[in-house]
């Protein structure tokens, strides 16, 4: 009998002398599991900037990592992303439809990309994950927090992030940053109150889950934010300080 858990050394387990159980070999996972890190916050708060900076640090430090984003990150998810954000016919999309499309994209991403990567001891950095749905569809679109949380749980299974950085900035700062040319998506065309509801939703979530969620002042200097994130990660996951260079991947984004 051979139970394969991961890529560690095989350990022989003799059956008890009079047992009817056959002798078994199984594999012990000695590769340290690396954390699943997510970035959250409203549009323009600096998520993608910090994801890139963290990825660059990991690369310099020889930490195996994978970067992904939501919605998207898989071929199926990228089609859903286009539909959700840019398709010309999405103006009439119902909030319920929107919620289910986000969860569909997430279900695929977790099973196709995130879980397999974590099981291979690759660190995952995600630009948005389940908290975006809790806040955008639950708090801001008011679809019912409990129901949204149930759908989130169905989509992610046991794949909860180990740590989540929420970058918190006010609507005005975000708006001034988004003057730069970029492809405005459907969420960015929402009124200012929506933006405030999203921000409040994230702050409330951070207060509810202070162990997982780290609230960061996103209006500060980008270098300082990058350093704070790195120091927090190193303190919380000492394994990041001693991981050898193995491989890097970028999911389909």
Ligand X SMILES: Nc1ncnc2c1ncn2[C@@H]1O[C@H](COP(=O)(O)OP(=O)(O)O)[C@@H](O)[C@H]1O
**Where do contacts with ligand X occur on this chain (CB under 6 A)?**
41, 43-49, 177, 180, 222, 225
Count the alpha carbons within 13 Å of 186 in the hemisphere toward its beta carbon: 18
Question: Mind giving me the DSSP string for 33-72?
Answer: PPPEEEEE-STTSSHHHHHHHHHHHHHHHT--EEEEESS-
Q: Is 27 helix (H, G, I), strand (E, B) or coil?
A: strand
Size of the site for Mg ion (CB under 5 A): 1
Q: Which two tokens stand for residue 247?
A: 């491989």
Instruction: Compose the 15-54 pattern: x for residues touching Mg ion by CB under 5 A, - for all others.
Output: ---------------------------------x------
How far apart are CB 185 and ligand X at their closest, in Å?
10
How far apart are CB 222 and ligand X at their closest, in Å?
4
DSSP H or E stretch at residue 149: helix 145-156
| Dist. CA 75–CA 117, nearest whole Å | 17
Residue 35 interacts with, from Mg ion, ligand X, none (CB under 5-8 Å by kind): none
- 51 or 155, CB closer to Mg ion? 51
Q: Closest CB to ligand X belongs to which residue?
A: 46
Residue 177 interacts with, from ligand X, Mg ion, none (CB under 5-8 Å by kind): ligand X
Q: Closest CB to Mg ion belongs to which residue?
A: 48
| Dist. CA 65–CA 154, nearest whole Å | 25
Residue 98 interacts with, from ligand X, Mg ion, none (CB under 5-8 Å by kind): none
| Dist. CA 199–CA 30, nearest whole Å | 41
Residue 71 interacts with, from ligand X, Mg ion, none (CB under 5-8 Å by kind): none
- Counting contacts by CB under 5 A, is residue 219 touching Mg ion? no
Please answer whether residues 132 and 40 qualify as being in contact, where contact means their C-beta atoms are separated by less than 8 angstroms: yes
Question: Mind giving me the DSSP string for 101-131?
Answer: HHHHHHHHHIIIIIHHHHHTT-EEEEES-HH
How far apart are CB 5 and ligand X at their closest, in Å?
36
How far apart are CB 45 and Mg ion at their closest, in Å?
9
Which residues contact Mg ion by CB under 5 A?
A: 48
């Amino acid at each position: 009998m051979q139970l394969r858990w991961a890529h560690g050394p095989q350990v022989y387990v003799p059956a008890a002398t009079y047992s009817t159980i056959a002798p078994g070999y199984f594999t012990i996972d000695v590769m340290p599991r690396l954390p699943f890190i997510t970035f959250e916050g409203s549009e323009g708060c600096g998520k993608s900037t910090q994801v890139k900076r963290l990825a660059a640090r990991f690369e310099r430090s020889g930490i195996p990592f994978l970067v992904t984003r939501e919605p998207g990150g898989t071929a199926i998810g990228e089609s859903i992303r286009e539909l959700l954000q840019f398709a010309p016919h999405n103006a009439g999309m119902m909030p319920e439809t929107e919620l289910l499309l986000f969860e569909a994209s997430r279900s695929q991403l977790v099973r196709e990309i995130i879980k397999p990567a974590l099981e291979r001891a690759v660190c995952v950095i995600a630009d948005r994950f389940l908290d975006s749905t809790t806040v955008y569809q639950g708090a801001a679109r008011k679809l019912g927090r409990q129901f949204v949380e149930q759908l989130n749980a169905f989509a992610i299974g046991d794949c909860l992030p180990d740590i989540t950085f929420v970058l918190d900035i006010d609507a005005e700062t975000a708006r001034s940053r988004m003057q730069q040319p970029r492809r405005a998506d459907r969420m960015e065309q929402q009124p200012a109150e929506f933006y405030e509801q999203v921000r409040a939703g994230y702050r409330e979530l951070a207060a509810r889950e202070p162990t997982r969620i780290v609230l960061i002042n996103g209006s500060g200097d980008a270098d300082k934010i990058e350093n704070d994130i790195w120091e927090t990660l190193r303190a919380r996951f000492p394994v990041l300080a001693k991981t050898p260079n193995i491989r890097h991947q970028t999911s389909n984004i």
